Amino acid sequence: MKLLIVDHDRYLVEMLTSWLKTLGFDISRAYTGERARSEWEEGQPD
């Protein structure tokens, strides 16, 4: 399953990314709304 994590707090995003990857998720990250939109359009998360 592909997930997109979006938050301005980089520490939180990295922590969640590390944890969810150990559970087998494919993770994309974004720290701004603009980048989140781009990741959403390119990556098509579930």
Q: Indicate the domain borders of the chain.
A: 2-43
Sequence-distant (≥ 6) Cβ neighbours of residue 32 within 8 angstroms: 8
Model confidence at 46, pLDDT cuts 50, 70, 90, reads confident
pLDDT digits (tens, 9 = 90+) for 6-33: 999 999 999 999 999 999 999 999 999 9
Beta strands in 1-46 (DSSP E): 2-6, 26-30
DSSP three-state, residue 31: coil
Task: Round the CA-based radius of gyration of the chain to a whole number and report it.
Answer: 10
- pTM of whole model > 0.85? yes
The pLDDT value given to residue 30: 97
The pLDDT value given to residue 43: 87
